[in-house]
Amino acid sequence: MEKYDCMIRILEQELVPAMGCTEPAAVAYAANLAKTALSDIPDKVIVTTSGNIVKNVKGVVIPNSGGLKGLKASCILGVVAPDSGGELDILEKLSEQEIIKANELLETDFCETRLEENEGPLYIMVTAEKNGHWATAVIKGGHTDVMLIKKDEEIIFKSEPTVEQDTGSADDCLSVKDIVAFASEGDISAVIPLLDRQIKLNTEISDEGMNREYGAAIGRMLKEENPDDIRIRAKAKAAAGADARMGGSPMPVIINSGSGNQGITVTVPVVEYAKELNASKEKLYRALIISNLVSVHIKRHIGKLSAFCGAVSAASGAGAAITFLKGGGYEEIAATITSTIANVSGIFCDGAKASCAVKIASALDAAIMADTLTQMEKTFSEGDGIVSCDVEQTIRNLGDVGGKGMRETDVEIIKAMSKPCDKQE
């Protein structure tokens, strides 16, 4: 069926690997493209980004960097990185000498940062200059959506921007009913390799977060409560993956909606519940299709970067998949999504950093509670806040609030994150 083919294409586009937080990686990618176009190490670089990029590079540790953080560090690391042809894995092969060079450049005025407020929430432009020549690379709309590469007056590459998903639009093939139909009866053989890779990489970084101390070690803390309780274990293992990723682990993850944390959230709890329920591998694959596509469906109504925390849309997908693993059909899955949104739709995003792990745990707690309500044949109905007459209208309402309504909130979050501490004695 045409809709099923569309969903397969979306999974192929969305389930791609990334190393570390996707925003620093995207900045490094743009910087590397500009340096490569210049054909030399520049004397100076200027990195111009939207506020959401600033927000998401401020607090997260860049992998393979020796603990560096921030916009300048992301850009400089991209400049010194080898021209590997990589995208979001551009920093995978940084050498010790290159890290030393990056630290040296950070102590100079080599990199200048500027803010661009009129190009949408995901915008990166890096201009590299040397001996009177300059090269520019522009990424816009998606973390790897290169719009322009230019050297002096020569256009090396140019692409028309994709339609941004900040207006509440979504692909015609995505609805909860159609997603459940595809996962229940569709031919999924084409996406099994993608799902196998997602399971492998995202569970591996979860194990890394459990086995080593990263950030606030939220996953390890949760597991100590009661490792035999599947509800706790599912939250703990997802949080542990975010602990490692936000803490600078160089291990790759398979992303969802442009985010590694969301990729972990839609994967790890579903894998844990499948083990607990002794589900077949095919049942797990089909549950992951629901988890991934529901998350994408919700997030495309909001936009890739906004003041809305993506853990909520990802957890909604995971909750839907858990209900599916327990035998639920469309009505039950819709109820779980609705109850999750009714509970935690107000969590805002204040950048990528260690506390993302606890937000993931909180969102998953709401999704697991929503599944419990579904099993008890209880849910929320029209008039309960933004909950509407059906799940699609509820998702659209969430998109209006999270995508449109929270734009000013996003501005205030970025301002708050930029203020120096004024500690009161």
Report pLDDT digits (tens) over 61-104.
Answer: 998 898 999 999 999 999 999 886 778 888 888 899 999 999 99
CB contact burial 61-73 (16+ within 10 A = b; e otherwise): bbbbbeebbbbbb
Q: Where in the chain is the domain with CATH 3.30.1330?
A: 22-158
The contacts of residue 306 (CB under 8 Å, 6+ apart) are: 52, 121, 166, 349, 402, 403, 406, 407, 410
Report pLDDT digits (tens) over 404-419.
Answer: 888 888 888 888 888 8
Answer CATH for 22-158 from 3.30.1330, 2.30.29, 1.10.20, 1.10.8:
3.30.1330
Q: Residue range 174-184: average pLDDT?
A: 97
Query: From its phi and psi, is residue 48 left (phi > 0), alpha (psi between -120 and 50) or beta?
Result: beta
The contacts of residue 400 (CB under 8 Å, 6+ apart) are: 168
Q: Look up residue 344 and give its two tokens.
A: 């935690």
pLDDT at 167: 35
Of 24, 277, 37, the closest CA to residue 135 belongs to 37
Say if CB 143 and CB 164 are below 8 A apart.
Answer: no
pLDDT at 422: 76
Report pLDDT digits (tens) over 254-300.
Answer: 999 989 999 999 999 999 999 999 999 999 999 999 999 999 999 99
Stated as kind and residue range, the H or E segment containing 319 is: helix 310-325
